[in-house]
Structure 1
């Protein structure tokens, strides 16, 4: 190490690949493995088993068929296939034909899929016939046979070559459209061949459960195939905690990747999946030292690796092997791996010195990554490519990550946040500007801002705030429905709040810190709850206390200077902000907020009490009362005239909960951290999201002995809908149970109305 420059010292063994190429294209790498161990197991999906020789043969034949359809070397071809053995075969076949694979997600809305096909320049879309039909693909398309594709063989094709582009992976874009990252074959090969950062041998089996559009799936497939191991495909579209454990147990998987958020939930529940695995790699967000220590304490044989890296650096750029000696502070992101280099530079591009004590005591700078695994750039965006992929005068070509980091004396890197507004939520990289762009296109929205709210350490919620256009009354329910039709589920805000104006910093920028704290301070201008019409609605006036908290003195907001200028698209009448003493300077909480979100969870799922069926109320315990900050009382700012009826008003006439609905409500309350009192309460409107849905379904399985699929969960996400599903499952499992005489027949939960449910919920 020199200054703040850290390089990977590991090089693959000399015998890693013959022929003089350090890192071949992936088809050549697979063919080499098939030559070495043709009868070794390569791919497992349920009862479908493929050896290495069978995998190569199936991909070769499909590649020949693609060539007859006009696919030529360098052509981008979109792939729209469910996670399956067939998907792996098709991916390899595209490369054998020389094409570039553009993975698509069946869960994405049609408009998103169309944008990715158009922006990638795909000449053909290959996929499952029903998915091609539902996606409305207009251009050339090829429907794959059911099962493993079988086509007549032909002369072998030459393959793409090591410097060719393997994938175009799309990530969130700040301009309102996703940006496609062109990842090379040799970059993937360098990541997975003979890895020193994680143990993978021919005796291992690696779990594949990530979406094809998530670059972790590249690691899951190719760290196995590059090292003679087998890929275990988890076929469930939206696997539950139990689905993951079952697949690992059934097929003997030994290695798995989990997003950090998913790992935290599994750790909090002491999931049995850890007892079955030998190696776990986590990544996507800051790893909790508490959860890491607890997992290693309970499962001391486990190899736990904390990985870091943007898509532009091919999945992982650095990694850290977690041990019990890592202490209680933030977990480091480690050192560069697999041919990468890392450089912490100041604003002038000069190295930042390593800190004497490392961690929080070290000087910070922006993390730049170099080495053999950088992406080619952004497809069709040369200006953005030149901005982010920069030739440094002494360090060569580097990628500017936008992440803040510091270097310890031994070269270990620590992560300290972002230099811009980009966020990570449940493992997904999100540019708030992309969501804000879509919101500002709505006729009733004058301005919008998006940030992340963290009501609990393990719960990150994407929160959107909108300012109404003059003379309009935005409906959070309607806005969410339109976002769901346009954006993938992980970009649809978990919470949507209507404000009279956005808070500003003294420099005139949107005060995102104040927005993130909006409904966690006394007098913040909002009472948590749903801002949707009908049951579950809620209003805020600026002086209410949070649900579940002990009442304290009301704090009236004070007028504060907003700084020069107004937010983009803001109405002139909405330039002021309100703040309470002790909030972010110049910012604070606007009054007149209408929120479509739940309250702060105050009970962690790991410490949840077991649910009963006769408790008088389904509530989460609130935090102890704290003294509010001292402020000068002034007349309260006018509340928004667009507020829907409060939740208390809307549920006064609601039917009481049945015992089974009460049990469901208690499970909800533990995860959501708010009161659940009405049969019509909606999980999404109360701030629920995909990861909390996994927690709730697992709690229902443990508490009531029933399993709900996530598809059923989101098809009818109300208390009444879930209670109906639970009752049906109990009756099916216990034939001696029957409904009471004269009871109304159970409705089909799949037909219960739910205009808010996303068509394809975001699940990590």
Structure 2
């Protein structure tokens, strides 16, 4: 029996439930019929401009119904897509487009940032009429390109990974088979279409007749709004990073008689044992899966049901292979190691990506003496007695920041190109379980930290920005002539805390805000107008800022208001306003 293709699955849902809700987003709904017609008209425009099987489309969209319609439209032409997240710096997006050379651009209004790209354009917006393109004459084969996903690279530039239809479909079919949707299921969509795991959220519920709720950026950033959306929308299936789970659990615990999801998965970063225990307290009837995978394996290749985690466990295993993958632990010569012995984790099987764009970093993909193709993950791990895999660390300088992969070498390479900088080094240090990146530069003259931050912000996504930038007289080197990161950490520790020009608060409220600022960022503000994000802050720290300000303000200050005016002076003004409202 032939397995239905993704498009045939969608067509079957459209035929069976044309007026059923396919997507919900910020109070609006889209039925299967409406989504089918919209994506079909977009596909017709793309096809009229030469898009066909084998083509690549640059797809630029915010998280929302347009992103789903755009993906379906590309699939209906038989083409592949390069997902572009508008939150990524424009310079970085342009590099991706330059490297991939897409044959067309499908972009929401205002998101086409590629004036020098000579390719036809299609506007990604609702279409009331026009011809409809239902699908390619011949479906792409399993090895055809589905999408290209970029991830941080050790060479100093992001790497494009080519993902096949086989890999994406295998991931979807594994979840459908092992964790089928119950009646009244509702799936949350919260990932950018530029991420390797996004096809599950964009298509996983849609192709099974399950309505999907596309969460807004504000809901994802603010745990209070996130928990409220989960309860109000009766969301049953969530696919989150550990830090999102933590925030959601704490806020859900405060909601009396709170709605419980059916299935929550944790991925993209290590799942803390404490989070598993808290999950059991807040949502005792829900399932929490710990997933393991990476961009080069089209998302997930192992899963572990945390219900089996012993109370005294030190780590949460990533479990057993799924989606047809095969996992092995090997020594530096590629020889298999027995259970209990730590080595590098290798992955083989259908989930493997087609490879890197341009062959960059292809040494990660290797063929063993049996002719089997593997991906060497760089993760250190071991098989437990029951066969489950446990990850114990990394064999290189890769870290995870808020679920995103970060290669320290890419930060260093970017800094070396900054005006006045002669060399650069970086390391990560722990802070409440969240890595904190410290970057150091050498220069012949004193360089402006603010200027360096601006340079990096223009070139790197926010999760790669250092929390601290420090100029040092030299970079410590090891015996092999390479950067000695432990020595760099010691050098910075000897320098001590970041020096500032000093800040004199205008009143007790501003003093309280400044004290919390220093607690979160590790250095006091330089003045009342310093920007929280320019000082090394990021979205997760902003959430903590909002939560801890409640004591000073007398009530919780909405996160969106802090994000709109992220300076000490403006935040203090918000606190004073909240204090007045609380007294009224």
Task: Establish whether TM, by shorter chain, passes 0.5.
Answer: yes
CA displacement at 1:718 relative to structure 2: 2.1
CA radius of gyration, larger in = 1
User: For residues 455-604 of structure 1, what are the structure 2 equivalents within 5 Å?
Assistant: 455-456=431-432, 458-468=433-443, 470=444, 472-516=445-489, 524-529=493-498, 538=499
- Residue in structure 1 matched with residue 537 of structure 2 by the alignment: 688
With over 3 angstroms needed to count, the CA separation of the structure-2 counterparts of 1:428 and 1:271, relative to structure 1, is farther
- The whole-number CA distance in structure 2 between the counterparts of 1:112 and 1:211 is 16
With over 3 angstroms needed to count, the CA separation of the structure-2 counterparts of 1:674 and 1:167, relative to structure 1, is same
Q: Aligned pair 1:335/2:320, yes or no?
A: yes
CA displacement at 1:340 relative to structure 2: 1.2
CA displacement at 1:173 relative to structure 2: 1.6
Q: Aligned pair 1:131/2:111, yes or no?
A: yes
- Residue in structure 2 matched with residue 384 of structure 1 by the alignment: 361
CA shift digits 1:259-291 (9 cap, x unpaired): 123334445666558854222111122211012
- The whole-number CA distance in structure 2 between the counterparts of 1:281 and 1:514 is 38
- Residue in structure 1 matched with residue 181 of structure 2 by the alignment: 200
- Residue in structure 2 matched with residue 85 of structure 1 by the alignment: 65
- Residue in structure 2 matched with residue 140 of structure 1 by the alignment: 119
Q: Aligned pair 1:400/2:373, yes or no?
A: no
Q: Is the Cα contact below 8 Å between 1:62 and 1:151 reproduced in 2?
A: no
CA shift digits 1:398-418 (9 cap, x unpaired): 111111110012210010212
- Residue in structure 2 matched with residue 565 of structure 1 by the alignment: none
Q: Aligned pair 1:284/2:261, yes or no?
A: no
- Residue in structure 1 matched with residue 191 of structure 2 by the alignment: 210
CA shift digits 1:186-207 (9 cap, x unpaired): 2111112252554533531111
Match of 1:246 among 220, 228, 232: 228
CA displacement at 1:496 relative to structure 2: 1.0
User: For residues 22-41 of structure 1, what are the structure 2 equivalents within 5 Å?
Assistant: 24-41=4-21
- Residue in structure 1 matched with residue 400 of structure 2 by the alignment: 424
Of 414-423 and 701-710, more deviation after overlay is shown by 701-710
- The whole-number CA distance in structure 2 between the counterparts of 1:443 and 1:55 is 48
CA displacement at 1:300 relative to structure 2: 0.9
- The whole-number CA distance in structure 1 between the counterparts of 2:420 and 2:206 is 51
Q: Is the Cα contact below 8 Å between 2:7 and 2:135 reproduced in 1?
A: no
- The whole-number CA distance in structure 2 between the counterparts of 1:301 and 1:672 is 38
- The whole-number CA distance in structure 2 between the counterparts of 1:395 and 1:412 is 25
User: For residues 48-63 of structure 1, what are the structure 2 equivalents within 5 Å?
Assistant: 48-63=28-43
Scaled by the length of structure 2, what TM-score is found?
A: 0.90
CA displacement at 1:138 relative to structure 2: 4.3
CA displacement at 1:490 relative to structure 2: 1.9
| Local SS of the residue matching 2:279 | helix
- The whole-number CA distance in structure 2 between the counterparts of 1:507 and 1:264 is 42
Q: Is the Cα contact below 8 Å between 2:462 and 2:538 reproduced in 1?
A: no
With over 3 angstroms needed to count, the CA separation of the structure-2 counterparts of 1:115 and 1:145, relative to structure 1, is closer
- Residue in structure 1 matched with residue 55 of structure 2 by the alignment: 75
- The whole-number CA distance in structure 2 between the counterparts of 1:715 and 1:328 is 42
- Residue in structure 2 matched with residue 228 of structure 1 by the alignment: 209
| Local SS of the residue matching 1:374 | coil
Q: Is the Cα contact below 8 Å between 1:64 and 1:157 reproduced in 2?
A: no
- Residue in structure 2 matched with residue 374 of structure 1 by the alignment: 352
- The whole-number CA distance in structure 1 between the counterparts of 2:416 and 2:90 is 20
Q: Is the Cα contact below 8 Å between 1:256 and 1:281 reproduced in 2?
A: yes
CA displacement at 1:491 relative to structure 2: 2.0
- The whole-number CA distance in structure 2 between the counterparts of 1:108 and 1:495 is 21
- The whole-number CA distance in structure 1 between the counterparts of 2:544 and 2:353 is 36
CA shift digits 1:281-316 (9 cap, x unpaired): 111222110121122123211211111101111111
User: For residues 428-443 of structure 1, what are the structure 2 equivalents within 5 Å?
Assistant: 428-443=404-419
| Local SS of the residue matching 2:13 | helix
- The whole-number CA distance in structure 2 between the counterparts of 1:676 and 1:483 is 20
- The whole-number CA distance in structure 2 between the counterparts of 1:658 and 1:499 is 36
- Residue in structure 2 matched with residue 178 of structure 1 by the alignment: 158
- The whole-number CA distance in structure 2 between the counterparts of 1:200 and 1:513 is 48
- The whole-number CA distance in structure 2 between the counterparts of 1:268 and 1:497 is 35
- The whole-number CA distance in structure 2 between the counterparts of 1:60 and 1:345 is 48
- The whole-number CA distance in structure 1 between the counterparts of 2:450 and 2:170 is 47
CA displacement at 1:682 relative to structure 2: 4.9
Of 657-666 and 701-710, more deviation after overlay is shown by 701-710
- The whole-number CA distance in structure 2 between the counterparts of 1:730 and 1:216 is 43
| Local SS of the residue matching 2:314 | coil
Q: Which structure's residues are more often helix, by fraction?
A: 2
Q: Is the Cα contact below 8 Å between 1:451 and 1:516 reproduced in 2?
A: yes
- The whole-number CA distance in structure 1 between the counterparts of 2:116 and 2:307 is 49
Q: Is the Cα contact below 8 Å between 1:389 and 1:399 reproduced in 2?
A: yes
- The whole-number CA distance in structure 1 between the counterparts of 2:530 and 2:17 is 56
| Local SS of the residue matching 2:370 | coil
Of 421-430 and 274-283, more deviation after overlay is shown by 274-283
CA displacement at 1:34 relative to structure 2: 3.1
Match of 1:157 among 126, 132, 135: 135
What stretches of structure 2 of length at least 5 have no aligned partner? none
- Residue in structure 1 matched with residue 338 of structure 2 by the alignment: 353
User: For residues 661-680 of structure 1, what are the structure 2 equivalents within 5 Å?
Assistant: 661-665=510-514, 667-668=516-517, 671-672=520-521, 679-680=528-529
Cα root mean square deviation, aligned: 2.8
| Local SS of the residue matching 1:77 | strand
- Residue in structure 2 matched with residue 97 of structure 1 by the alignment: 77
CA displacement at 1:223 relative to structure 2: 2.3
With over 3 angstroms needed to count, the CA separation of the structure-2 counterparts of 1:729 and 1:103, relative to structure 1, is farther
With over 3 angstroms needed to count, the CA separation of the structure-2 counterparts of 1:219 and 1:495, relative to structure 1, is farther
With over 3 angstroms needed to count, the CA separation of the structure-2 counterparts of 1:664 and 1:183, relative to structure 1, is same
CA displacement at 1:709 relative to structure 2: 4.3
- The whole-number CA distance in structure 2 between the counterparts of 1:262 and 1:460 is 15
Q: Is the Cα contact below 8 Å between 1:172 and 1:430 reproduced in 2?
A: yes
| Local SS of the residue matching 2:34 | helix
CA displacement at 1:174 relative to structure 2: 1.8
Q: Is the Cα contact below 8 Å between 1:254 and 1:277 reproduced in 2?
A: yes
